């Protein structure tokens, strides 16, 4: 992967990437903040029309941006649309990742960004729909979050519960199920329908410290009523 630096860490993290001539970097549409004139930017239907439609149905942008060091070396600054952090993960091709909506931010040109269909019950009860983003291949994946990103290592055989509104990403080969939260948990978890995701270790799950839906509900209390 090209040299990169995460700047202004915290609620307003941005990504500064240094590209050598000929390098390419893909990112969510609208992510580019500024760049050297040696770089060019194009909108791309990664995966073709079906890939674009799949991303749209999963809650992501229809197009991806491709930043290309066409004329020479240069730097580009990218930023997510929401406040929060950015986390880089190095993929070696052995494991692909499932990412919830708005979780994919950027990545190496070599990575394949597609969509995966959840089964009926998982899609219906997760609150995220029947499509989620799948990223595979070799390169650097950048995920964005609403709030900070926390890495949870789940030991072999252990179950771990995550509120759906806080889930960011997990390995594609990891066992999980969507379940109704117990009465004692419903008041503690923020998913409005009372459903959570139960993971079975071993594996690594990435969660975000804030829930966009819950934040929207909190903010709505202060907006003027019509």
> What pLDDT, in 10s, does the model give residues 189-202?
444 456 788 999 99
Contacts for 142 with CB less than 8 Å, ≥ 6 apart: 15, 27, 86, 87, 88, 89, 105, 106, 107
- Choose the weakest-confidence range: 52-56, 88-92, 200-204, 205-209: 52-56
Structural domain of residue 24, as residue ranges? 3-216
C-alpha to C-alpha distance for 134 and 138, rounded to whole angstroms: 13
C-alpha to C-alpha distance for 168 and 135, rounded to whole angstroms: 13
Q: Exposed/middle/buried for 153, CB within 10 Å: 0-12, 13-18, 19+?
A: exposed
Residue 224 belongs to some domain of the structure? no
Residue 225 belongs to some domain of the structure? no
Residue 223 belongs to some domain of the structure? no
CATH number of the domain to which 75 belongs: 3.60.160.10
Residue 226 belongs to some domain of the structure? no
Domain tally, the chain: 1
3-class SS at 56? helix
> What pLDDT, in 10s, does the model give residues 96-151?
999 987 899 999 999 998 887 765 444 444 444 457 889 999 999 999 999 999 99
Contacts for 175 with CB less than 8 Å, ≥ 6 apart: 199, 200, 203
Instruction: Report the DSSP beta bridge partners of residue 175.
Output: 200
Residue 48: per-residue pLDDT = 47
Query: Which token pair is 199?
Result: 């993971």
Residue 56 belongs to some domain of the structure? yes
Tell me if 145 sits within 8 A of 103, measured CB to CB.
Answer: yes
Residue 49: per-residue pLDDT = 44
Residue 52 belongs to some domain of the structure? yes
- Average pLDDT across the chain, whole number: 83
Q: Which of the four pLDDT bands, split at 50, 70 and 90, describes residue 69?
A: very high
Sheet of strand 167-171, all strands in order from the earlier edge strand to the far edge? 112-117, 131-136, 97-99, 167-171, 203-208, 149-154
Percent of the chain with pLDDT over 70: 77
pLDDT over 50 (residue 214): yes
Residue 222 belongs to some domain of the structure? no
Residue 221 belongs to some domain of the structure? no
The pTM is what?
0.82
């Amino acid at each position: 992967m090209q040299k990169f630096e995460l700047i202004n860490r915290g609620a307003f993290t941005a990504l500064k990437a240094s590209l050598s001539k000929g390098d390419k970097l893909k990112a969510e549409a609208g992510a580019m903040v500024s760049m050297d004139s040696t770089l060019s930017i194009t909108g791309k239907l990664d995966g073709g029309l079906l890939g674009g439609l799949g991303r749209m149905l999963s809650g992501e942008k229809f197009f991806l941006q491709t930043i290309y060091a066409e004329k020479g070396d240069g730097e580009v600054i990218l930023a997510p649309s929401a406040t929060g952090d950015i986390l880089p993960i190095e993929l070696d091709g052995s494991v692909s990742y499932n990412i919830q909506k708005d979780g994919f931010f950027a990545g190496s040109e070599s990575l394949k960004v597609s969509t995966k269909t959840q089964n009926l019950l998982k899609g219906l009860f997760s609150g995220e729909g029947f499509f989620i983003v799948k990223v595979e291949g070799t390169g650097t994946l950048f995920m964005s979050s609403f709030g900070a990103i926390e890495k949870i290592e789940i030991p072999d055989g252990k179950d771990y519960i995550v509120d759906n509104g806080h889930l960011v990403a997990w390995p594609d080969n990891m066992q999980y199920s969507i379940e109704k939260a117990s009465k004692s948990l419903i008041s503690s978890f923020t998913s409005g329908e009372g459903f959570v995701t139960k993971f079975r270790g071993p594996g690594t799950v990435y969660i975000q410290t804030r829930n966009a839906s819950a934040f929207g509900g909190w903010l709505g209390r202060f907006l003027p009523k019509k």
